[in-house]
Amino acid sequence: MASQGIPVLILKEGSRRTTGREALRTNILAAAAIAEVLRSSLGPRGLDKMLIDSFGDVTITNDGATIVKDMEVEQPAAKMLVEVAKAQDAEVGDGTTTAVVLAGELLTKANMLLEDNVHPSIIIEGYRKAASQASKLLNEVARKVDAQNTEALKEIAKTALSSKIVSSGAALDKLAELSVKAVLQVQEKQDDQLKIDLDNVKIEKRKGESLLDTELIMGVVIDKEVVHPGMPKRVENAKIALLDTPLEIEKTEITAKIQISSPEQMKAFLDQETQILREMVEKLAKVGVNVVICQKGIDDVAQHFLAKKGILAVRRAKRSDMEKLARATGARIVTNIDDLTPQDLGEAQLVEERRVANEKMVFVEGCKNPRAVTILVRGSGEMVLDEIERSLNDSLNVVRNVVLDPKIVPGGGATETYLAVKLKEFANTVGGKEQLAVQQFAEALLVVPEVLAETAGLDTVETLAELKAKHESGKTSYGIDAVSAKITDMFEAGVIEPLRVKQQILKSATEAALMILKIDDVIAASPPKPEKKGEGKEGGKEGGFEGGGMSGLD
pLDDT tens track of the chain, all 554 residues? Answer: 445 667 655 656 656 666 667 777 888 888 888 888 888 888 888 888 898 888 888 888 888 888 888 887 778 888 888 888 888 888 888 888 899 999 999 999 999 998 888 888 999 999 999 999 999 999 888 999 888 888 889 988 988 888 777 766 788 889 999 999 999 999 988 877 888 889 999 999 998 888 888 999 999 999 999 999 999 999 999 999 999 988 887 665 667 676 777 777 666 656 677 888 888 889 889 999 999 999 999 988 889 989 999 999 999 999 999 999 999 999 999 998 888 999 999 999 999 999 988 889 999 998 888 999 999 999 888 888 888 888 899 899 999 999 988 999 998 899 999 999 999 999 988 888 899 999 999 999 999 999 999 988 888 899 999 999 999 888 889 999 888 888 999 988 888 889 999 999 999 999 989 988 888 766 666 666 666 555 544 444 444 444 444 333 33
From the CA atom positions of the chain, what is the Rg in Å?
Answer: 31
Beta strand pairing call for 193-195 and 359-365: unpaired
| Distance in angstroms (rounded) separating the CA atoms of residues 81 and 513 | 9
Q: Is 63 a catalytic residue?
A: yes
Q: Evaluate whether 171 touches 211 at the Cβ level (below 8 Å).
A: yes
Q: Is 394 a catalytic residue?
A: yes
Classify domain 219-252+261-369 at the CATH superfamily level: GroEL (3.50.7.10)
183-194 burial, b if ≥16 CB within 10 A, otherwise e? bbbbbeeeeeee
The one-letter code for the residue type at 381 is G
Which residues does 477 contact at the CB level (< 8 Å), separation at least 6?
A: 141, 410, 414, 489, 490, 491
- The pTM score is 0.79
Fill in the DSSP letter of residue 433.
T
Which has the closest alpha carbon to 452: 208, 163, 244?
Answer: 163
In the chain, domain spans: 19-144+409-517, 147-217+370-405, 219-252+261-369
> Which of 97, 245, 463, 488 is labelled catalytic?
97
Q: Exposed, middle or buried, 23 (CB in 10 Å: 0-12/13-18/19+)?
A: middle
| Distance in angstroms (rounded) separating the CA atoms of residues 412 and 479 | 5
Element (H, E) at 49: strand 49-52
The one-letter code for the residue type at 495 is V
| Distance in angstroms (rounded) separating the CA atoms of residues 367 and 437 | 57
Q: Evaluate whether 222 touches 364 at the Cβ level (below 8 Å).
A: yes
Residue 290: its pLDDT value, please? 92
| Distance in angstroms (rounded) separating the CA atoms of residues 186 and 393 | 15
Extract long-range pairs of 171-175: CB within 8 Å, 24+ residues apart.
Answer: 171/211, 171/212, 174/211, 174/212, 174/214, 175/211, 175/214, 175/388, 175/391, 175/392, 175/395
CA-based max dimension of the chain: 104
Residue 268: its pLDDT value, please? 67
Which has the closest alpha carbon to 487: 509, 466, 507, 508?
Answer: 466
Q: Exposed, middle or buried, 297 (CB in 10 Å: 0-12/13-18/19+)?
A: middle
Classify domain 147-217+370-405 at the CATH superfamily level: TCP-1-like chaperonin intermediate domain (3.30.260.10)
Q: Is 417 a catalytic residue?
A: no
Beta strand pairing call for 333-334 and 234-243: parallel
Instruction: Show the CA angle centred on residue 515, arms to residues 512 and 518, nearest 5°.
Output: 150
> Which of 96, 98, 245, 329 is labelled catalytic?
96
Q: Evaluate whether 472 touches 165 at the Cβ level (below 8 Å).
A: no
Q: Evaluate whether 291 touches 239 at the Cβ level (below 8 Å).
A: yes
Q: What is the 3-state secondary structure (H, E, C) of 108-120?
A: HHHHHHHHCCCCH
> Which of 394, 417, 463, 481 is labelled catalytic?
394
Task: List, edge to edge, every strand of the sheet that includes 407-410.
Answer: 143-144, 407-410, 496-498
> Which of 61, 63, 299, 415 is labelled catalytic?
63
Which has the closest alpha carbon to 240: 280, 283, 284, 292?
Answer: 292
CA atoms 93, 97, 100, 106: torsion sign: negative
- Looking at domain 19-144+409-517, its CATH architecture is Orthogonal Bundle (1.10)
The one-letter code for the residue type at 127 is Y
Which has the closest alpha carbon to 376: 159, 183, 240, 208?
Answer: 208
Which residues does 400 contact at the CB level (< 8 Å), separation at least 6?
A: 93, 183, 196, 198
Taken as a whole, the chain contains a residue count of 554
Residue 551: its pLDDT value, please? 38
User: How much of the chain is in helix, strand and coil states, percent to nearest 5?
Assistant: 50, 20, 35
Residue 529: its pLDDT value, please? 64
